[in-house]
Amino acid sequence: MIQNESTMRSVIENNDLALWRGADGVARAWENRCPHRGMRLSYGIVRKNRLTCLYHGWTFNGEGRCDKIPAHPNLDPPTTIGAKVYKCVEVGGLLWVAHTENSSEPPVINGSWIPCRSLHFTKKIALSNLIARMDADPLNAHAQYLNPPDGAKMLLAVQPMGKRGTMLHLTLHAEATREDHLRASRWLIAHRLTTEIIA
Amino acid sequence: MTMPTHLDPFTHAQWYALGRDEDFPDGRKTQTRLLSQDLTVLRRGRTIEVTLPQGQPRPTQHRYGHVWTTFSDTPRALYDIPEFEEVERRLITAGAVHVRCSGLRAVENFLDMAHFPFVHTGILGVEEHAEVEKYDVSMDVERDEIWATNCMFFQPVAAATAKAGGTTKYKYRLPHPYSVILYKTCPPRPGEWDLIGLFIQPTEEDVCIVHSFVLVFDQDNTDTELLHFQQNIFLQDRIILENQIPRRLPLDMRLEIPTRADASSIAFRRWLKANGVTWSTVRAGDME
């Protein structure tokens, strides 16, 4: 969950990411590294729709271009200086991030979805094992729709984080009740108990 | 003695500070690390013994309030700091701070004025005065060290002795890949310089222990006040140092874009490269 005008750090495989949202509500995903001295941009400060690096105040616009270097207030930074920007779309109550050179289309998810639970697993998790006995339709390589017999439709997405394990993100269709959310959340926690403690 | 794979001759040839006398309890062995190797330190009174795991002794010397050793049998001479001879100065050592970064990154951060308004906000800088004026960088060829001079920066509270904001003058001296000394205007004695410096113990390529000192003419502040000022500043820096990617220092200019304010950092990276330093620096494959 990223509030407007704030940042957070995330990881996909070995890619360190700075996720941030401007006052405009648009979510961005950048390489978590200021091009100047390598500082994690997730420690930066968002003012309106620009992100400022904590280390030297280099400031980047929403498209990743550096437009201010405070040590040289009269310098117009060269247009070549910028953060590395990833593709980032927000659908199904989740952010979806890909390398710019990744040609696959962002997922198309109909309707409105509400985030239910994001849970960290210390191991690498194969989605196919997790949903082996469930009624599921694949959305893409990293997400499945699940149709539990006794509740609202769920969307389960996997975020592989290399040696840091896996994040699983669960969202429910907007029609879901409070009970659906509690049941779905308990289901995910039970899975973590099974995979991390009992196994 | 086997050398770690990436240890270059220049890094190997240096003397390194391991701590102050009082950091090693009398008569009891202390384990430490240097350049990815284990060391044992044993103090008996004023005598210090530093040994390798198989018991082979390494040379030691007491200088600048610290105990120094080297792995080299033909070490590069430890540099002189003549100000340590000036009797009116007070020496305050700030102890050992472990930091998960290359010691070279810690040196570079210490050289850098442009971060003051953002990392030491309200103390060493303010955002409204973030400009870094042009300063001079030169090589002392005879001693093989770098100097950055005529550095100026606006500071709200430059030192524990400073009562009001003003432009502080600085000089920086780089006599060793893991030592950096800052000379700054001394508020009670115009014309004199206060010294603040780091003696870094690179334990691993991406972990270091920073030993620091303050050598000043200050008569007003207690040792504790001076220590707190230094520790506060250094802990603000640690947030940065432990979040730079990669942890080792890139020497290739294309990997991190410098500006004119980074002239001293550019000179430092060039100097390391010219001396064949590979230890604790970025290698092919690190940036993938």
Q: A71 and B131: CB-CB below 8 Å? A: yes
Q: Which fold has domain B87-274?
A: Naphthalene 1,2-dioxygenase Alpha Subunit; Chain A, domain 1 (3.90.380)
**Which ranges of chain A does DSSP label H, i.e. alpha helix?**
127-130, 178-192
- Same domain for A93 and A124, yes or no, is no
Are residues A165 and A94 part of one domain?
no
| pLDDT score of A1 more than 90 | no
Domain termination residue (choose one: A67, A98, A129)? A98
CB nearest to A56's CB, from B108, B114, B245 = B114
Burial of B195 (0-12, 13-18, 19+ CB in 10 A): buried
Nearest CA to CA, how far is B115 from chain A (Å)? 5
* pLDDT at residue A16, rounded to an integer: 97
Q: Which two tokens stand for residue B142?
A: 């005879």
**A92 in the same domain as A10:** yes
Give the CATH number, domain containing residue A189: 3.30.310
Let me know whether A135 and A187 are in one domain.
Answer: yes
* Predicted local confidence at residue B5, as pLDDT: 75
B245·A40 Cβ contact <8 A: yes
Segments of B109-192 assigned E as strands: 136-140, 145-155, 166-176, 179-185
Which is it for strands B193-204 and A154-160: parallel, antiparallel or unpaired?
Answer: unpaired
Q: What is the pLDDT of residue A36?
A: 98
Q: Is the pLDDT of residue B288 over 60?
A: no
pLDDT at B221 over 90: no
Place B220 in a pLDDT band, splitting at 50, 70 and 90: confident
CA distance A118 to A107: 19
What value does the mean pLDDT take over residues B195-210?
98
Average pLDDT over residues B9-33: 96
Give the CATH number, domain containing residue A41. 2.102.10.10
**Which pLDDT value is given to residue A106?**
87
Asked if the model's pLDDT at residue B162 lies above 80, the reply is no
pLDDT at A8: 97
Q: A-chain residues within 8 Å CB-CB of B250?
A: 38
**Residue A182 belongs to a domain:** yes
Q: Do A35 and B257 touch (CB under 8 A)?
A: yes
Please identify which residue in the block is written with the tokens 């064949």.
Answer: B276
- Interface predicted TM-score (ipTM): 0.93
The distance of B281 to chain A (nearest Cα, Å) reads 14
**How far apart are the CA of A95 and the nearest CA of chain B, in angstroms?**
23
By residue range, what is the domain housing residue A180?
113-198
A101 burial class (0-12, 13-18, 19+ CB within 10 angstroms)? exposed
Phi-psi region of A152 (alpha: psi -120 to 50; beta: other; left: phi over 0): beta
Residue B78: name the closest of B145, B146, B16 by CA: B16
Work out the pLDDT band at A26, boundaries 50, 70, 90.
very high
Report the pLDDT averaged over residues B122-139.
Answer: 95
Q: How sure is the predictor about B3, in pLDDT bands with cuts at 50, 70 and 90? A: low
A89 & A46 share domain:
yes
Interchain CB distance below 8 Å, B114 and A71:
yes
CB contact under 8 A, B244 and A38: yes
In 3D space, the residue among B256, B255, B249, B243 whose CA is nearest the CA of residue B273 turns out to be B249
In a domain, A132, yes or no: yes
Looking at the structure, tell me whether residues A135 and A88 fall in a common domain.
Answer: no
- For the sheet containing B37-44, what is the strand order? B29-34, B37-44, B47-51, B57-58
Per the structure, how many domains does chain A have? 2
Find out whether A46 and A195 touch, Cβ atoms under 8 Å.
no
Instruction: Evaluate whether residue A21 is within a structural domain.
Output: yes
**Among B173, B218, B178, B226, residue whose Cα is nearest residue B194:** B218
Residues of A with CB under 8 A from a CB of B: 14, 16, 32-33, 35-40, 43, 53-57, 69-73, 75, 81
A36–B243 C-beta distance less than 8 A: no
* Residue A103 domain-assigned (yes or no): no
Amino acid A53: pLDDT: 98
d(CA B209, CA B17): 10
b/e sequence B83-99, b meaning 16+ C-beta within 10 Å: beeeeebeebbbbbbeb
Give me A125's structure tokens: 């998790």
Residue by residue, what is the 3-state secondary structure of B18-85?
EECHHHCCECCEEEEEECCEEEEEEEECCEEEEECCCCCEECEEEECCEEEECCCCCCCCCCCCHHHH
Given pLDDT bands bounded at 50, 70 and 90, which one contains residue A195? confident
Arithmetic mean of pLDDT over chain B = 93
CATH class of the domain defined by B13-69: mainly beta
